Structure 1
């Protein structure tokens, strides 16, 4: 991995850890498979830290540009209650 995660320096250490965990799970959805419930739980925590939709879009775009992995399709698929596991 030769890129860094988009973070805000005003976040607490725990918030940074939680956002990094969320983006790490997005990577895993593309590289392997993840549980829907895990994505939902980490996305909810992400939204507590980043409640603004515009800031979310900006962070998602920065992450996608750096990594090649798009968070939005993973979150969108996780919103389907019939899906148990996600693999992109």
Structure 2
């Protein structure tokens, strides 16, 4: 990984850690797969920090631009899967 995560300078250290943890889960989905429950739990925590759709889109688009990983497609796929399954992106 040779890119930086998009962060908002108004976020606290704990909030930054939570957002980075969410993006790490997205990376896991693409690289090795991740349990749906772990991913969705991190997404819920992420949404507490980035509750608005427009801010979520902005931050996630910035992440996709630097990483090539789509948070939108990953979460969409996770929502379609049954509990207990792994989310594995192509």
Correspondence for 2:86: 85
Aligned pairs, how many?
88
Whole-Å separation in 1 of the counterparts to 2:81 and 2:61:
26
How far is the alpha carbon of 1:10 from its aligned partner? 0.6
How far is the alpha carbon of 1:55 from its aligned partner? 0.5
Residues 51-70 of structure 1 mapped to structure 2, 5 A cutoff: 51-70=51-70
Deviations 1:13-38 (A, max 9, x none): 11000000000110010011100001
Structure 1 gaps of 5+ residues are none
How far is the alpha carbon of 1:81 from its aligned partner? 4.8
Whole-Å separation in 1 of the counterparts to 2:81 and 2:88:
15
Provide runs of 4+ in structure 1 moved above 2 Å: none
Q: TM-score, normalised on structure 1?
A: 0.95
Whole-Å separation in 2 of the counterparts to 1:37 and 1:82:
10
| Cα root mean square deviation, aligned | 1.0
